[in-house]
Structure 1
Amino acid sequence: MVIPNIAFGYSHDNGGTFNNYRFGIICLGGGKVSMINQLDKEINGKFSYCLIPIPFDSSINSNITSHINFGSSAIVSGPNVVSTPLIKGNHLRTTISTWKTSPSDNASGGDGQAGNIIIDSGTTLTLLPNDFYSNLESTLVNSIHTTRKDDPSGTFHLCYNSQNGTIDAPTIVTHFTNAALELLPSSTFAEIEQGLVCLTIVPVDEIAIFGNLTQGISDSKSVNGFTLDLIHRDSPLSPYHDPSNTPFERLQKAFHRSFSWASFFGGKSVPSIQSTLTPNEGEFLMKISIGTPPIDTFVIADTGSDLTWTQCEPCDNCFKQLTPIFNPKNSSSYKTIGCHNKLCQSSRCNNNTCNYLVIYGDLSHTRGDLSSETFRFTSSSGKNVSIPNILFGCGHDNGGSFTNVTSGIIGLGDGNVSIVNQMHHEIKGKFSYCLIPLELLLDSSNATSHINFGDNAIGSVRIISTPVFKKESPTFYYLNLKGISIGNKTLEFKSSSISQPDYDLGNIVIDSGTMLTYVPDGFYLNLESLLMHSINATRKDDPFRRLDLCYESNENGTIDVPKIVAHFTNADLELSTSNIFTQVVEGIVCLTIVSGGSNQISILGNLAQANFLIGYDLKANKVSFKPTDCTNTNGFTLDLIHRDSLISPYHDPSNTPFERLQKAFHRSFSRASFFGVKCVHSIKSTLTPNEGEFLMKISIGTPPIDTFVIADTGSDLTWTQCKPCVNCFKQLTPIFNPKNSSSYKTIGCHYKLCQGSLCNNNRCNYEVSYGDLSHTMGDLSIETFTFASSSGKHVSIPNILFGCGHDNSGTFTNATSGIIGLGGGNASIVNQMHHGIKGKFSYCLIPLELLLDSSNATSHINFGDNAVVSGPDVISTPIYKKESPIFYYLNLKGISIGNKTVEFKSSPISLPGYDRGNIIIDSGTTLTYVPDVFYLNLESLLMRSINATRKDGTYGGLDLCYESNENGTIDVPKIVAHFTNADLELSTSNIFTQMEEGIVCLTIVPGGNQISILGNLAQANFLIGFDLKANKMSFKPTDCTKY
């Protein structure tokens, strides 16, 4: 964003305590020459910032960045927001109104003087008057039961001994005028040197200051399906963007397009290939690639259109476009459609090539060959999604009101040739979008709306759904609006004055390309009258004379309106004021619901859809709404690479899929034998290294060093090989050298996870011995870990506790450098990232037969909000705490085959009520292990239930094998695993796998006296969510190849 004519100091004489890291100062204070006041017109006097808590140690070198927001994006709102007045004084800085503090329930100080403390982003510590500080310190001393220490520097007055960089201190509540603000210990205490934490509030004789350490209290945001950017035509990311236009000028042009667009929805019939619509000049654009090799272009994304088309060479008549015009002669995947195709109209056929013609309402048109081609979409995951044989129009004669930034239209309507219906197999008829509010898009924001395709497109929590009705035009999405409420009064909605509600179903179209909402004249007049009686604000005229009901806005650019609810069939949709009122010029807002005349169809426009995740399920014929902050994306998703997949460094192309399977079984038998240990300490443990069923690619240190590690829910400590290497196994990636990292630190002996026997010269050592005598030994340390999220962004987490291994050997291979622990113990990376990911992670494992068959398919693991598993098909079961805190224990009550159930007990003498937590779920074990007696009963039931030829002998250590059918499987009655509160229906492939051509075997095996394990074969094609805060695990049937 470029702002001209800023007054600033052009300085020629500068000296003092400035350093070479800065060239000057940008003033954000309250004075007249402050940048804030100079930018008043652009930002409307609003700015905000979010400061990430920064310790006093070397983790300040983290890549995590605080942010400052200006203008509309700076508005802080929501149920957790508190506000306090700013008091203007004689200082350049701005003071906050009266405050006092109270640790827990004990209030301290507060003299009632208005404007008694400055809030300042440039002051690190919080400074308080001497008397007030003494009272606060005294209250804290009485509340903290930890060894008091002195600060060697003499800066801090209240310090304590700490074993993990924190202390158990009470929450401090600061009481400002009208606002009580809770400060966690992490905002008021900081580790100033190893083992010493101090209160970052200090006494002064001068004016009080609320410093930036105390302000660093907000959660820093972490960052699935097939998700694309949906670029508003006026955003800076759009080729349409004209920076010379003001936001209000852009708004007026958008209104003009909207009025033009709406007039053409009234057509009674819209054939698939020949239609009468307006091209709309494109409210939202999508960037796609067409052909082989792919040619990039922008197209208009439109739920009100059916046929997808683009300009093509040779051009008899084409409008100018910025991107190269597609030349089908240069694409190896291009094909024309013959006259026999069911979508080809006989009158449009020439030399066995099907032609098409689309004439729009303003007489714009496109004409050319109906063809098929490969379309490629660049997903927000960073991966390219290619869909072959998409039917589209290759336009050789195109003209009218189209502009040079688009090459055509992508049709997202419901007609036969819509790209949504053509991709039905890939996306199962599901797509959704989340539209960012217009004021953010028009105000030169880089914020981008998104469109999602496939299973990930439909949410489930806080969702309301309404049917889609089929009417005369198959292209449009018709909903049924029963009425609109303002406060406690409701207006009945009818498409005409004589229509009856029961016969008026499907009376409004939902459309992404229309900005305004259009309703019948009679309904509009009643709605306008009700709003006028309900709104207490000064009535104004629209300066542009387009919108009828306008008001003088408040300082936030809005007005107070009673609760607004749109009543659809089965769905009451609560709208915000910004969904129906928008600021047209400074100080004036207008109603964006307008009269559509008596003959036009009603339209729910995109302003009313903003900040909802809107899902279309064409198979179920429904549209869903979920209130969503469309500017915000939380959580992050990583690739989970099976060790035998084509993209794994373990991959051996000389092995057949069946040979890879046998090796996976061998590793599984090896791993299972070590789950029986009764005690597994965080730092010194006995486990199997497992050679890594799944790998994660991570980066360690600053600058980051890439490596592969074994991802393991059955391990706790994360570790990697480090230099200097006393004894290291060979690895493909460079061995991490802590001397080259500015963020690396060792852990002292005071650390709570450090065992006294493993401490040397105040440096904590660790030792992990595995069951096959493999081991790792080294220094317990902290470091910054960076994860390359599938969103394409890097997520860096500082101060991760890990083992820096200098002595490592055994059965580890050169494809890994160590292990990342995803278990439930204290040292697990999941618990270390608890604040950022809220104790949530999930994964979706691709079936083994696809991974072993040289497939590029990749499983995924999700952290944070993205990991939440929800929806109608979700079942959940408790996670039980037992002797080992590392493992995730579930309670299996039995397994059913058909209508018969085998009761599950961990031993023949155990009672079900006392046998809670009798099976571990583990991502690193291939097979499922059960007690011997249970196995024999289950095997007997399966033998009686399966009508297939039994094969004698064992295959890869598996006993129950059958001759498979031509699909490489067998017919088995319904299989259900009965967990506490959750009946999990398994597919045949979850418990039987093909061992060699024509033979399948049961992958549930007897485990002897060892603990039972639910292996990863049984977990395939489920989205499995771990919620460590709620102590529950969730399962959702999912095609993990498309997740």
Structure 2
Amino acid sequence: MALILSQLFISLILSLFFSLTLLPHATTSKANSSSEYSITSIFNVTAANHKTSQILSFKPFHNQEEFPQTFSSSSSFKLKLYPAASLYNTHHQHKNYYSLDLNASLNPGITTGTSNFLVQIGVGGPPQKFYMIFDLQTDFTWLQCQPCIKCYDQPDSIFDPSQSSSYTLLSCETKHCNLLPNSSCSDDGYCRYNITYKDGTNTEGVLINETVSFESSGWVDRVSLGCSNKNQGPFVGSDGTFGLGRGSLSFPSRINASSMSYCLVESKDGYSSSTLEFNSPPCSGSVKAKLLQNPKAENLYYVGLKGIKVGGEKIDVPNSTFTIDPYGNGGMIVSSSSLITMLENDTYNVVRDAFVAKTQHLERLKAFLQFDTCYNLSSNNTVELPILEFEVNDGKSWLLPKESYLYAVDKNGTFCFAFAPSKGSFSILGTLQQYGTRVTFDLVNSFVYLHTLCCN
């Protein structure tokens, strides 16, 4: 058991900093289209193992960037996203927020949502800075507040309302209070909430309006969010949850954002150039897919894909894989909590088999945890892998980032196919497969834009 936990710990750390090096056979000016590209790529095993060794010796830091004390508002906002492990201060005694369960299935709309990434915001006037969970699966934004009844250990000082001139309690008669599940009135007429997620985690507090600031790019007044003073759950390592779902309580809805865009990027020493943006246009040359909505989970983002190709060949997958039926089954959820992509069981089997058929030249190993297809690349400097892509529309495809095909589970050259079967009747687009891609949600016209060369 100790060995398994040790291996799992290593794989989780690698998920936050893993950056493989692939040398393509041929280049193309159409990075997001399948019209001109090589159907294989050369995987640099030596470089990948060297990177893994660097990761395992990584010394985390705790970012000390300060917000300016004065702000000017703007029509668009840009924030940095930080890999969770990079913000862990080794002098702190609490655990880091990279303890996600790779074997857990995503329950649409009813889990707290863990994340590989945190976002830094300022709350109050003057702003107090906090690292919040980057969460696409939930709507409600909340942070821990004084006075605490039951608070977990967090990296930063807990929000102190007495130090903010913009702090306002909301009445239980307000529209926002009525939108909250299990809301109630306090004795003095203010809105209280008690939210319990399906995994048993819980947060309680009062609903407030506050000023939320975005590093140096601006601020928004009177944003409704939760001021929690009683919490129970695996929130350790963050100061709260930044709810970015599609529901009416989510942060994008509260600021009337026309678009939301993010890019997850791995970089050396844990410092990330990952960003989260609101009201920014999609990158020129992006491939466009429909942003679908599930009638049974309206707060989730579903990307409307058309098919899958492995090594240039279209794979025959069930028609239900990427469509959503009236009962809420099917479709692919864009996730910030699942590390790897999970495909509906039948779809996963045919995609995996197609990948295996095109990697017969590689030495297979036994399964590792949820990974059923693993390879021994310890004696290889480079190997050839088939290109993987998702079909979008009009014959165009999104070529998955090459570093997302295989996943290193140790530093000895063991790599596994970085996909797994879903535990439910839906698929999940994991963060590993999103690395290096600018994902833009057009919240007005319901489209998703994907671009692999637009993260800087």
Same fold (TM over 0.5): yes
Equivalent-residue separation in structure 2 for 1:225 and 1:411 (angstroms): 18
Structure 1 residues 389-434: Cα deviation after superposition (integer angstroms, max 9, x where no partner): 111010011122121x31101111111111111122xxx4212111
Aligned pair partner of 1:294 in 127, 132, 135: 127
Report the Cα offset of residue 603 of structure 1: 0.6
1:375 matched to which residue of 2?
Answer: 212
Equivalent-residue separation in structure 2 for 1:519 and 1:288 (angstroms): 33
Equivalent-residue separation in structure 1 for 2:192 and 2:233 (angstroms): 19
- 1:537/1:551 contact within 8 Å kept: no
Count of residue pairs brought into register by the alignment: 381
Equivalent-residue separation in structure 1 for 2:454 and 2:414 (angstroms): 25
SS of 1:314's equivalent? Answer: coil
Structure 1 residues 778-837: Cα deviation after superposition (integer angstroms, max 9, x where no partner): xxxxxxxxxxxxxxxxxxxxxxxxxxxxxxxxxxxxxxxxxxxxxxxxxxxxxxxxxxxx
Aligned pair partner of 1:590 in 390, 395, 416: 416
| Bigger relative contact order (CA 8 A; separation at least 6) | 2
1:364 matched to which residue of 2?
Answer: 201
SS of 1:475's equivalent? Answer: strand
2:48 matched to which residue of 1?
Answer: none
Equivalent-residue separation in structure 2 for 1:241 and 1:432 (angstroms): 31
2:33 matched to which residue of 1?
Answer: none
Report the Cα offset of residue 502 of structure 1: 8.4
Aligned pair partner of 2:189 in 352, 360, 363: 352
SS of 1:523's equivalent? Answer: helix
Equivalent-residue separation in structure 1 for 2:208 and 2:147 (angstroms): 15
1:580 matched to which residue of 2?
Answer: 405
1:316 equivalenced with 2:149 (yes/no): yes
1:246 matched to which residue of 2?
Answer: none
Equivalent-residue separation in structure 1 for 2:307 and 2:76 (angstroms): 35
Structure 1 residues 655-696: Cα deviation after superposition (integer angstroms, max 9, x where no partner): xxxxxxxxxxxxxxxxxxxxxxxxxxxxxxxxxxxxxxxxxx
1:780-799 equivalent positions in 2, closer than 5 A? none
2:311 matched to which residue of 1?
Answer: 487
Structure 1 residues 976-1012: Cα deviation after superposition (integer angstroms, max 9, x where no partner): xxxxxxxxxxxxxxxxxxxxxxxxxxxxxxxxxxxxx
- 1:479/1:506 contact within 8 Å kept: no
Aligned pair partner of 1:420 in 244, 252, 257: 252
1:278 equivalenced with 2:109 (yes/no): no
Equivalent-residue separation in structure 2 for 1:506 and 1:600 (angstroms): 6
- 1:433/1:613 contact within 8 Å kept: yes
Higher alpha-carbon Rg = 1
1:510 matched to which residue of 2?
Answer: 334
Equivalent-residue separation in structure 2 for 1:502 and 1:578 (angstroms): 33
Given the superposition, is the C-alpha separation of residues 558 and 473 from structure 1 closer, same or farther in structure 2, using an over 3 Å criterion?
farther
1:530 aligned partner, one-letter code: A
SS of 1:373's equivalent? Answer: strand
Equivalent-residue separation in structure 1 for 2:373 and 2:213 (angstroms): 45
SS of 2:371's equivalent? Answer: coil
- 2:117/2:134 contact within 8 Å kept: yes
Equivalent-residue separation in structure 2 for 1:240 and 1:620 (angstroms): 42
- 1:309/1:395 contact within 8 Å kept: yes
Equivalent-residue separation in structure 1 for 2:120 and 2:323 (angstroms): 44
1:433 equivalenced with 2:433 (yes/no): no
TM-score w.r.t. length of structure 1: 0.34
Report the Cα offset of residue 468 of structure 1: 1.0
1:389 matched to which residue of 2?
Answer: 222
Equivalent-residue separation in structure 2 for 1:366 and 1:517 (angstroms): 29
- 1:433/1:452 contact within 8 Å kept: yes
1:329 equivalenced with 2:180 (yes/no): no
Given the superposition, is the C-alpha separation of residues 355 and 339 from structure 1 closer, same or farther in structure 2, using an over 3 Å criterion?
same
Equivalent-residue separation in structure 1 for 2:176 and 2:299 (angstroms): 14
SS of 2:292's equivalent? Answer: coil
1:468 equivalenced with 2:317 (yes/no): no
1:263 equivalenced with 2:263 (yes/no): no
Given the superposition, is the C-alpha separation of residues 617 and 306 from structure 1 closer, same or farther in structure 2, using an over 3 Å criterion?
same
SS of 2:349's equivalent? Answer: helix
1:620 aligned partner, one-letter code: N
2:209 aligned partner, one-letter code: S
- 1:431/1:458 contact within 8 Å kept: no
Given the superposition, is the C-alpha separation of residues 340 and 434 from structure 1 closer, same or farther in structure 2, using an over 3 Å criterion?
same
1:609 matched to which residue of 2?
Answer: 434
- 1:466/1:622 contact within 8 Å kept: yes
Structure 1 residues 684-712: Cα deviation after superposition (integer angstroms, max 9, x where no partner): xxxxxxxxxxxxxxxxxxxxxxxxxxxxx
- 1:436/1:611 contact within 8 Å kept: yes
Equivalent-residue separation in structure 1 for 2:315 and 2:120 (angstroms): 41
SS of 1:344's equivalent? Answer: helix
Equivalent-residue separation in structure 1 for 2:365 and 2:372 (angstroms): 7
2:389 aligned partner, one-letter code: V
Report the Cα offset of residue 553 of structure 1: 3.1
Report the Cα offset of residue 326 of structure 1: 0.8
Equivalent-residue separation in structure 1 for 2:77 and 2:324 (angstroms): 39
Identity of aligned residues (%): 26
1:627 matched to which residue of 2?
Answer: 452
- 2:113/2:337 contact within 8 Å kept: no
2:293 aligned partner, one-letter code: K
1:533 matched to which residue of 2?
Answer: 357
1:446 matched to which residue of 2?
Answer: 271
SS of 2:409's equivalent? Answer: strand
2:288 aligned partner, one-letter code: S
Gaps of at least 5 residues in structure 2 are: 1-17, 29-74
Report the Cα offset of residue 580 of structure 1: 2.7
SS of 2:271's equivalent? Answer: coil
1:398 aligned partner, one-letter code: N
- 2:113/2:135 contact within 8 Å kept: no
1:392 aligned partner, one-letter code: L
Report the Cα offset of residue 589 of structure 1: 1.7
Given the superposition, is the C-alpha separation of residues 501 and 408 from structure 1 closer, same or farther in structure 2, using an over 3 Å criterion?
closer
1:47 matched to which residue of 2?
Answer: none
